[in-house]
Chains A and B, each alone.
Chain A
Amino acid sequence: MDQTAQESEEGVIVLDDAWWEELMAVTDGAAAPCFQCGVCTATCPWNLVRDRFGSVRHFMRQAQLGLQNGDEDLWLCTACAQCEALCPRGVPIAEVFRGLRYTAWTRRTTPAGLPSLLWSVYWNNNPWTQPPSQRSQWAKNISLPDFDPDEHEILFYVGCTSSYDRRAQKVTLALVQLFEAAGVPYGCLGDDEPCCGEPALSVGHRPYFEEVAQQAADVFGERGVTDLVTVSPHCYDTFSSEYQGAHQGFRPSHYTQFLAELVQDGRLAFESPVDLKVTFHDPCYLARRHNETEAPRCVLDAVPGVQRVEMERTRMDTLCCGGGGGQMWLETAPGERLSDLRTQEAVATGANVLATACPFCIACLEDSVKAQGIQDLVVMDVAELAALGLGD
């Protein structure tokens, strides 16, 4: 059968075999184990902000059968993995969504403007159309050690957003302060630091991602990287879970994990009290995707004066900020932003600080704090709070 899938005037739906085969190839048949229980649809956070949402279960069924309907809701998935956490069949649902998105790339039905994201990674080595020559400008006022495997314990992998986004740069600089306070020999790759490829992967273009990942892995291999610490959980997730084939033997960790180790080993201690009531927002890519909810709390608890409180949805049940799965490059309608709900949850705890550990979470949450005119709540990164604990 080689007809294309379409709903004819009589309401007959035709299966598209070619499309189905392409999808099977790109997802490796990931949707096959799904038995259509619908837990994914029921637990999807989009239910909290949308009356009507093309059900997750429906997408899984389409993927199994090779039925395509060009549903725009395909681009809503934030890859928060809430559905995956509860799926009784262990279906990698976000991966199926990426596969469905990939078929949109091959059929040129991606949302307008999205190709420019891939072009930016191609031309600029970052998704933000920023000049590659300015990647290390965040460090213009400090002297950044060029990575040397013989001298340095870790490669500090800054990542694109943390290099260019003026807000995120503050977190990057706080981390430098912390490494120096702990006497960690660290180095960076400066303008030569490669993009990890997550932007391409998040919008479903796996083949291009593989290309970027191979180039990045080559750079790490050439530079002799063995231990790599990322700022963003997105880069961390990509290096940990997606660099299998291209993996050159380096061990990635998220900075909260590395700081927690430093604290436990007694290498990093905080002297200066930080009298703030703090609630921690678990980034999905750290909590649900990597089961890491302890490290950031361990760092916060080591800072004297910090009073930690929890939000209603916490740890493995964290509520997505809405920034994952490529949403940073897509538009979310007002009134449908998960970060609005999340900031209200933070307000309900009475905390002064909504802490998190991801540049995308910071961007979304801070936007919601401003947009809703929330007073008395600031969004900070764990690294910034920890740096406050160092004192002067």
Chain B
Amino acid sequence: MVASLYGVDEEQKAVWVFLEQEGGKLTGVCLELLAKGRRLADQAGWQLGGLLLGRGVAELAQVAIAHGADEVILAEHPLLELFTVDGYSRVTFEVLMQYKPSVLLLGATPNSRDVAGRLAVRLRTGLNADCTDLRLDADTGLLISEVTGFGGGILALLESPDHRPQMSTVRPGVFPRGEPDRRRQGKVVRFPVELTDDVIHTRIAERIIGEERDLTQAEVLVIGGRGIEGHFDLMQDLADLIGGEVGSTRPPVDEGQVERERMVGQTGVVCRPKVAIVCGVSGAFHFVVGIQEADTVIAINSDPEAPIFEFADYCIVGDVFEVVPALVAALRPAPEVSEVSHG
């Protein structure tokens, strides 16, 4: 096997997080990785570093420090203002070759995945994609990445003993975020960037931020079907209480009860939420392919023979108009009972 550009003997004992930013904010998965990276680094007695690229993003370095980073390498340049895979890969590569961290973690977002693949090839190292858990062996300094296959049916634990950095992209939402500590102190190191536009093959002609809702990123989905008879307010109540988005099958969309962008299924959105609560949905095949990647499916249907129950992890046989209001009532924070009433 080809040796990586830097090896185990040259590595800096540090866990690094690639800090992807968008619209003046770090992405959620970066904050999750900082929290996880902090724990991994502490267990091994290592440093937690962050790598931040962009333009005018210095204050985000402080956010990363508040979330656990010891040191942030800040690479700013006008050509890094908007993400381009050429520019970001090139600069990241240069930084890595200078600092040689042992571990580099990236969020499994479209842009970071793009960078991760290129970097792994350039650095002649491996890449564990879309990981669902991470461990760091304190004795050997090996990162152990968990990858799932076939809808979670198979788990593989991967390590990269001889190649550096040990790279993994991590699925958003698998690790909890930590609470930021504004008093934490850390070091920000500016990395001089030399970049000319002839190395960037992408021209950003126009940047349009759609108003469309992206159900594919929702971690919790409450999905209503024909059986809820258009009562999407009920779905919304439940979704609000558990921090979810509302989705729909095709019939309510056809009836105009809900927007088309919320349609889940073969010709709608295919999503992979952690939890999908599916209400009054019979389970037509076209719909089911849209949620088969969900980690946990909870189905509520009055018909015990409904095909949806074959796909659900938890099956509630009952009237949605009884079950969902009861769920909503149970989840709603109870009104504060004053001391006086106890007498």
Contact = CB atoms under 8 A, between A and B. Distances in A.
A331 B307 CA distance: 22
Interface string B239-283: 000000000000100110000000000111010000000000001
B285 A128 contact: yes
B285 A131 contact: no
Residue of B151, B226, B289 most packed against chain A (CB within 10 A):
B289
25 contacts: A113-B267, A116-B270, A128-B266, A128-B285, A128-B289, A129-B270, A130-B292, A131-B150, A133-B150, A164-B285, A166-B283, A166-B285, A166-B310, A167-B285, A167-B307, A328-B266, A329-B267, A331-B267, A334-B254, A334-B255, A363-B286, A367-B284, A370-B226, A371-B251, A371-B254
A330 B310 CA distance: 26
A301 interface: no
B284 A130 contact: no
Interface in A121-169: 128-131, 133, 164-168
Contacts of A131: 150-151
Contacts of B310: 166
B239 to A, nearest CB: 24
Interface in B203-256: 226, 251, 254-255
Interface string A312-329: 000000000000000011
Chain A binding surface, main DSSP class: helix
Chain B binding surface, main DSSP class: loop
Contacts of B292: 129-130
Interface in A157-186: 164-168
Interface of B: 150-151, 226, 251, 254-255, 266-268, 270, 283-286, 288-289, 292, 307, 310
Interface string A97-138: 000000000000000010010000000000011110100000
Nearest to A335: B254
Interface in A323-370: 328-331, 334, 363, 367, 370
Contacts of A371: 251, 254
A330 B266 CA distance: 8
Given A166-B285, A166-B288, A363-B286, 8 more contacts: A131-B151, A133-B150, A166-B310, A167-B284, A168-B285, A334-B254, A370-B226, A371-B251
Nearest to A367: B284
Contact of B285 (A330, A334, A363, A370): A363
A23 to B, nearest CB: 27
B267 A166 contact: no
A131 B266 CA distance: 15
A357 B151 CA distance: 32
Given A128-B266, A129-B292, A165 B285 contact: yes
Contacts of A166: 283, 285, 288, 307, 310
Interface residues of A, number: 21
Contacts of B255: 334
Contacts of A328: 266
B251 A370 contact: yes
B267 A130 contact: no
Contacts of B251: 370-371
A164 B266 CA distance: 14
A133 B251 CA distance: 31
A370 B281 CA distance: 12
A329 B270 CA distance: 13
Contacts of A129: 270, 289, 292
Nearest to B285: A165
A125 B179 CA distance: 45
Contacts of A165: 285
Return the 9 tightest CB-CB contacts between A and B, nearest first. Answer: A334-B254, A331-B267, A165-B285, A166-B307, A131-B150, A128-B289, A129-B289, A166-B285, A371-B251
A290 to B, nearest CB: 26
A62 B289 CA distance: 37
Nearest to B282: A370
Residue of A164, A165, A328, A330 most packed against chain B (CB within 10 A):
A165
B224 to A, nearest CB: 16
Contacts of B284: 167, 363, 367
Contacts of A128: 266, 285, 289
B174 to A, nearest CB: 22
A56 to B, nearest CB: 24
Given A166-B307, A370-B226, A371-B254, A329 B266 contact: yes
Nearest to A113: B267
Contacts of B283: 166
A174 B310 CA distance: 20
A113 B266 CA distance: 9
Contacts of A167: 284-285, 307
A351 to B, nearest CB: 23
A116 B292 CA distance: 15
A159 to B, nearest CB: 14
Contacts of B270: 116, 129
A147 B266 CA distance: 32
A168 B150 CA distance: 23
Residue of B150, B267, B270 most packed against chain A (CB within 10 A):
B267
B286 A330 contact: no
A367 B289 CA distance: 16
Contacts of B151: 131
Nearest to A373: B226
A147 B164 CA distance: 49
Nearest to B266: A329
A330 B289 CA distance: 14
A273 B319 CA distance: 37
Nearest to B254: A334
B262 to A, nearest CB: 14
A116 B255 CA distance: 27
A119 to B, nearest CB: 12
A321 to B, nearest CB: 14
Residue of A133, A166, A367 most packed against chain B (CB within 10 A):
A166
Interface string A253-282: 000000000000000000000000000000
B257 to A, nearest CB: 12
